[in-house]
């Protein structure tokens, strides 16, 4: 069976990786000339190496601590004796996977009347087509803007910093980079607001600037038909914007459904990934609709037990953890 995948991001490449050597022949179509070009902070939580390979050359540093700020004041400075995750070189990470599967570059796909064509008019012959093209296929209202500066500011390579604000549904960050830092901000605000706010933490000589939109809506239920994975399905944690790891996990869930001939929607809804993303989405939607105050959320994320906040942030939580933080209004 031939499968075509639109988009060579983490989800699309992971699906091809998981199905390699099976009865499914997967071809990934990428509209750009390379992988890993979408801007992001390149953070990965530990455990993803159980799904796809992470080579030493793709690892910039191992994360062993984090700092949390509220309105620019430090409230938590946590360092642990274990690896929490990685800062990776995303292009190298994805290239290592892309080299082991079939990827066709500089090919943009359009759908017309249930059939698929390149922009040059060539028809794509496949038994199944899957969208893994990220936020590009999402309604704009389901995404928020994020901007990021690359600077030469030197931060501890084992530390990541998060900045929450009482007037922003979102956050800013400083992550280590190969030659300095990635300093960014994203949230439910316009670009001028984000550019002005990030000046508070912008440090070092600016080497580059870029931006992208990120899903904060949660899973799109109508897309649980086995034709969407990754951010195109909404698999981004709304509270943090983390998308690489959940996108890869969504690809694994689809691959397993195909190989075991099970219903993808049913299997996906049984997963921890689905429940944790949708729970975070309820929190974000609650703030947007005024059911929860933005200041209240900011206090919870910065003043509560940092280990519990970390569990919620990375999607490693259960209903009891949510009750501890938010009471029963989310469950």
In a domain, 79, yes or no: yes
Inside any domain, residue 293:
no
Q: Is residue 274 part of a domain?
A: no
- The pLDDT score that the predictor gives to residue 211 is 95
User: According to the model, what pLDDT value does residue 192 have?
Assistant: 98
pLDDT score recorded for residue 39: 80
120-123 contacts at long range (C-beta below 8 A, 24 or more positions apart): none
Whose tokens are 């508070």? That residue is 200
pLDDT of residue 303: 87
| pLDDT at position 326 | 85
CB count, 10 Å around CB of 86?
A: 21
Look up the domain containing 58 and give its range. Answer: 2-269
User: Rounded to the nearest 10 degrees, what angle do helices 10-19 and 244-259 cross at?
Assistant: 30
Per-residue pLDDT of the chain (331 residues; tens, 9 = 90+): 999 999 999 999 999 999 999 999 999 999 999 999 888 889 999 999 999 999 999 999 999 999 999 999 999 999 988 899 999 999 999 999 999 999 999 999 999 999 999 999 999 999 999 999 999 999 999 999 999 999 999 999 999 999 999 999 999 999 999 999 999 999 999 999 999 999 999 999 999 999 999 999 999 999 999 999 999 999 999 999 999 999 999 999 999 999 999 999 999 999 999 999 999 999 999 999 998 899 989 989 888 998 899 899 999 999 999 999 887 555 5
* E strand or H helix at 244: helix 244-259
pLDDT at residue 166, rounded to an integer: 94
CATH of the domain at 23: 3.50.50.60
Phi, psi of 60, deg, nearest 5: -80, -45
275 inside domain: no
Number of domains in the chain: 1
In a domain, 126, yes or no: yes
Q: What is the pTM of this model?
A: 0.95
Rounded CA gap, 112 and 122, in Å?
A: 12
17: tokens are 């990786």
According to DSSP, residue 228 is labeled B
- Write the CB contacts of 168 (distance below 8 Å, at least 6 apart in sequence): 187, 188, 189, 193, 197, 294
Beta bridge partners of 146: 186, 212
Contact between 4 and 116 (Cβ < 8 Å): yes
294 within some domain:
no
Q: Is residue 219 part of a domain?
A: yes
Rounded-to-integer distance, Cα 216 and Cα 143, Å: 6
Whether 132 maps to a domain, the answer reads yes
């Amino acid at each position: 069976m031939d499968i075509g995948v639109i988009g060579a991001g983490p989800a699309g490449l992971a699906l091809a990786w998981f199905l390699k050597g099976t009865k499914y022949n997967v071809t990934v179509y990428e509209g750009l000339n390379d992988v890993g070009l979408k801007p992001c902070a390149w953070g990965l939580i530990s455990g993803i190496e159980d799904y796809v390979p992470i080579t030493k050359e793709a690892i910039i540093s191992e994360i062993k601590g984090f700092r949390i700020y509220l309105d620019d004041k430090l409230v938590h400075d946590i360092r642990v004796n274990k690896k929490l995750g990685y800062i990776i070189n995303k292009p190298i990470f994805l290239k290592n996977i892309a080299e082991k599967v079939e990827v066709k570059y500089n090919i943009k796909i359009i759908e017309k009347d249930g059939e698929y064509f390149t922009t040059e008019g060539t028809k794509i012959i496949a038994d199944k087509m899957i969208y893994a093209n990220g936020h590009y296929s999402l309604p704009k209202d389901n995404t928020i803007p994020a901007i990021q500066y690359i600077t030469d500011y030197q931060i501890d390579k084992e530390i990541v910093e998060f900045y929450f604000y009482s007037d922003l549904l979102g956050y800013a960050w400083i992550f280590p980079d190969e030659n300095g830092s990635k300093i960014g901000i994203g949230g439910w605000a316009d670009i001028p607001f984000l550019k002005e706010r990030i000046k508070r933490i912008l440090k070092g000589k600016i080497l580059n600037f870029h931006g992208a939109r990120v899903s904060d809506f949660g899973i799109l239920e109508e897309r649980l038909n086995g034709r969407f994975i990754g951010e195109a399905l909404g698999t981004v944690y709304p509270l943090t914007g983390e998308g690489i790891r959940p996108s890869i996990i969504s690809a694994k869930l689809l691959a397993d459904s195909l190989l075991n001939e099970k219903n993808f929607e049913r299997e996906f809804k049984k997963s921890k990934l689905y429940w944790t993303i949708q729970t975070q989405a309820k929190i974000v939607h609650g703030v947007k609709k005024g059911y929860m105050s933005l200041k209240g959320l900011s206090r919870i994320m910065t003043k509560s037990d940092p280990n519990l906040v970390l569990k919620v942030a990375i999607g490693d939580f259960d209903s009891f953890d949510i009750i501890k933080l938010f009471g029963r209004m989310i469950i």
